[in-house]
Amino acid sequence: MLKINYRETGELIPYVNNSRTHSEQQVQQVASSIKEFGFTNPILIDEDNGIIAGHGRLQAAQVLNLDKVPTITLKGLSETQRKAYVIADNKLALNADWDYEALKLEILDIGDDIDLALLGFDDDELSAIIDGLEEAEPELKEEDYKEVFNIIVSCKDENHQERVYNELLEKGYECQVQSL
């Protein structure tokens, strides 16, 4: 059974290899959400207080000067499972889609009772949803695409790679070095 424990923010250790990043704007959005709705989503930690999920929530708590935050300790994960869950927790939510008609109805029902910025959508996205558009992304035009042709050159060693790279640069080619 999962148990929520409140821990001091200074006790929690962010995962140094966390691949998910949080902009200041996004951290502020999370902080605003915590302020409005409470800290409804505990930070997931390992037995050593290492953060597995909730880096952004910890940053938001620090912005709000919270001394303690709710945590859930996930016990028994192997190192590999912990690393995988750090990624999965972030990515799996991104794989979901929206039912835009239901979303529009909910947003309209909320109306002016709550600041819609708390939902995490920017003004353009909200306008697109309310106006019935499925996505707030600009339509791409043919000139937005750039055709790229690549060639791979196998080199016998690092010195040969450097020589070929420099020769191609001198001839005006755009190059990237990749070691496989």
Q: For the residues 100-122, what does the mean pLDDT come to?
A: 90
Give 99-106's long-range contacts (Cβ < 8 A, gap of 24+): 100/129, 100/132, 100/133, 100/134, 103/129, 104/129, 104/130, 104/132
What residues are paired with 44 via a beta bridge? 53, 72
- 175 or 180, which is more confident: 175
CATH architecture of 4-94: Alpha-Beta Complex (3.90)
Tokens of 144: 């937005």
pLDDT digits (tens, 9 = 90+) for 56-85: 999 999 999 999 999 999 999 999 999 999
Q: What is the pLDDT of residue 180?
A: 62
Residue given tokens 């953060």 in the structure block: 51
Q: By the 8 A CB rule, do 45 and 12 touch?
A: yes
pLDDT band at 178 (very low <50, low <70, confident <90, very high): confident
Q: For the residues 134-139, what does the mean pLDDT come to?
A: 53
Domain coordinates of the chain in residue numbers? 4-94, 97-144, 148-180
Q: What is the pLDDT of residue 136?
A: 47
- Statement: the pTM of the whole predicted model exceeds 0.85: no
